Amino acid sequence: MSYGGYGGGFAPPGGGNRAPPPGADPQLWSWFNTVDTDRSGAITATELERALINGDWTPFDLDTVKLLMSIFDTDRSGTIGFNEFSGLWKYIKDWQNVFKHFDRDHSGSIDGQELRDALAQFGYNLSPPLLDLVQKKYANQTVGHGAPVPGISFDRFVRACVVVKQLSEAFGKIDTDRDGWIQINYDQFMHTVLSLP
Amino acid sequence: MSYGGYGGGFAPPGGGNRAPPPGADPQLWSWFNTVDTDRSGAITATELERALINGDWTPFDLDTVKLLMSIFDTDRSGTIGFNEFSGLWKYIKDWQNVFKHFDRDHSGSIDGQELRDALAQFGYNLSPPLLDLVQKKYANQTVGHGAPVPGISFDRFVRACVVVKQLSEAFGKIDTDRDGWIQINYDQFMHTVLSLP
């Protein structure tokens, strides 16, 4: 085997020679250990951002990384262990398939029409002005002083979908009679919005 | 003069020898140019984060930097020029005085009681559970694997106050009869929340 975690041979960069848990993907274990430089067994959002550079996708925005952390850091420790990392990795891989499916023109980014189709498939039929707002909010901003990247890149597509889902669920929890209208006071409004990651 | 922007003498690091605009603070102009490495005259959120390290405060979280950008980048270009940067710098200095005023025990961070006093002074009398939520959301998280910093640091205090202000204003816009209750549909709810920076 090419991965030498078991006491000999090739040591992955920064990974040392800790044995991976039974059934662990050796490459994933190696990546996890590469970013977990202090060998604490847990990685932070900033470290996760570094780990995600190893995937078959464009780099992840720290905001997206934090959103993912908030989903997988179930004990709210601020860090995720290897098992959570594995779950998160699979989650991202699944999203990658979704992204490829909806990126019909294979441009590597999602345009307004493709976003509408994706959200509709997930059961969110947003009004055209709302779709426009989501599209603008998550479209890639100018990076450095280069030209803006058109459309929504992979990581921001994940974020857009997750945010729409979380907001819709928050609304749905209050809209108990399912008529599409809610009556809330200031305190409830603030609670609802501030409780989102 | 110690600043040699006018064609000779000492060149500030990275600042080159461009002349500052009339009336500009030379040190601020030097900092601005240090981070504006490509001399475009405009800096991005990531560059602003680097500029803010020069202040008399703890480093700013990128999320806080982006929130500040959203306030001062009035033309939504994704960057801020020197004049906007000067305004932002003054804004932060003003916040620093507010922070020092409410940090009664001079601990360098704001605790729950101090946060309540600050928000009340700004006219936001939040309920105890809501205050608790804000306090927890903006309390400093574990940095790396060290012990969590207790309380709310300067940059996160600014963020907490600005977010409470923006949310309260968003609610107030809908609550036209000022009774503290709003009735909104799904589309309005999504619009309200997604329009926030």
| pLDDT average, residue stretch B124-145 | 82
| pLDDT of the residue at A7 | 32
Domain ranges, ordered by start, for chain B:
1-102, 107-197
Of all residues in chain A, the one with the smallest CA distance to B41 is: A145
User: What ipTM was assigned to the predicted interfaces of this complex?
Assistant: 0.81
Choose among A103, A104, A192: nearest CA to A156. A103
Model confidence over B76-126: pLDDT tens digits? 788 999 999 999 999 999 999 999 999 999 999 999 999 999 999 999 999
CB B59 within 8 A of CB B37: no
| pLDDT average, residue stretch A96-122 | 94
Q: Where are the alpha helices (DSSP H) in chain A?
A: 26-35, 45-51, 62-72, 82-102, 112-121, 128-138, 154-174, 186-194
* Fold agreement between B1-102 and B107-197: yes
| pLDDT of the residue at A147 | 53
Percent over 70 (pLDDT), chain A? 87
| pLDDT of the residue at B145 | 46
> Does the pLDDT at position B10 exceed 60?
no
Helix (H) / strand (E) containing B128: helix B128-138
CB B41 within 8 A of CB B3: no
Q: Collect all residues from B whose CB is shorter than 8 A from any CB in A.
A: 38, 40, 42, 44, 62-63, 77-79, 126-127, 129-130, 133-134, 137, 141-145, 148, 163-164, 167-168, 171, 175, 180-187, 189-191, 193-196
CATH superfamily name and code, A60-194: EF-hand (1.10.238.10)
More confident residue, B64 or A180: A180
Query: How close B191 gets to chain A, by Cα (Å)?
Result: 6
Choose among A167, A183, A131: nearest CA to B185. A183
- Look at A167 and B190 and tell me if their CB atoms are within 8 Å: yes
Report d(CA A63, CA B92) in Å as an integer. Answer: 23
Model confidence over A50-92: pLDDT tens digits? 888 878 888 888 888 988 988 898 877 889 999 999 999 999 9
Tokens of residue B160, six digits: 């907490």
CB A33 within 8 A of CB A15: yes
CATH superfamily name and code, B1-102: EF-hand (1.10.238.10)
Query: How close A61 gets to chain B, by Cα (Å)?
Result: 11
Phi and psi at residue A113, to the nearest 5°: -65, -45
Report d(CA A6, CA A17) in Å as an integer. Answer: 6
Q: Which residues contact B19 (CB under 8 A, 6 or more apart)?
A: B5, B6
Report d(CA B13, CA A3) in Å as an integer. Answer: 45
> Does the pLDDT at position A14 exceed 80?
no
> Does the pLDDT at position A143 exceed 60?
no
A3-7, A99-103, A175-179, B140-144: least confidently modelled range: A3-7
Choose among B122, B126, B151: nearest CA to B136. B151
> Does the pLDDT at position A191 exceed 90?
yes
The CATH architecture annotation of domain B107-197 reads Orthogonal Bundle (1.10)
**Residues in A touching B189 (Cβ below 8 Å):** 167, 171, 182
Report d(CA A188, CA A85) in Å as an integer. Answer: 33
- Look at A180 and B186 and tell me if their CB atoms are within 8 Å: yes
| pLDDT of the residue at B62 | 82
A129-138, B2-11, B128-137: least confidently modelled range: B2-11
What are the Cα distances from residue A169, in Å, to A117, A193, B32, B147, B191? Answer: 20, 12, 43, 34, 15
Q: Which residue in A40, A187, A189 is closest to B145 by CB distance?
A: A40
Q: Which residue in B77, B133, B189 is closest to A195 by CB distance?
A: B133
Tokens of residue A189, six digits: 């409004």
